[in-house]
Structures are given as structure tokens and as C-alpha cells.
Amino acid sequence: MLRFSARMDNLKLSSSMLVSDIVGRAMLICGLAGYENESPFSIGRLSRGAAAAPLMVNNDRALMATARSLLIRKDL
């Protein structure tokens, strides 16, 4: 059970960090059209969501939980 929990926490952490990198690269591809709200290439909303993902997932809390579970597993 602890192993599954650690894997799920790692999945949430890595996806919340990687999404901002992906959206940043998409902004480079779209250029200025990605910043315009009326453009069909607008990804400003995605950019705001990607920036907020680590806050919504609570990366600090997830990292602490993963560290605790790994320490408990080591003691067993």
C-alpha cells in the first residue's frame, strides 16, 4: 500500500512540474499569437493553469508524504 501511495504522489508531482515545461514550449511554438486572447492559438489560460498546478497539487505536502512513507518502508 505504501509503495502504491508513493508512486501516485510521484505521478502527481512530476505531472504538475512537467505541464509548465510543456506549456512553455507551446508558447515558443505559437509565438505572440499564444498570448492574444482572441487568437485561435491562445494558450494563456493553459499557461495560468500550468503555473497554478504545483500549488493545487500541494507539492510540498506530497514531497513530505513521500519522504515519510519511504522512511517507514526503510524501517520495515
Domain extents in the chain: 2-75
29 Cβ partners below 8 Å, 6+ apart?
A: none
What residue type is 71 in one-letter code? L
12-37 pLDDT tens trace: 888 888 998 999 899 899 888 888 88
Q: Are 64 and 18 in contact (CB under 8 A)?
A: no
Position 48 pLDDT exceeds 60: yes
Tell me which of 63 and 76 has the higher pLDDT: 63
> What sections of 1-76 are H helices per DSSP?
2-30, 44-57, 59-75
Position 70 pLDDT exceeds 60: yes
| Best CA proximity match to 59, nearest among 5, 2, 12, 7 | 12
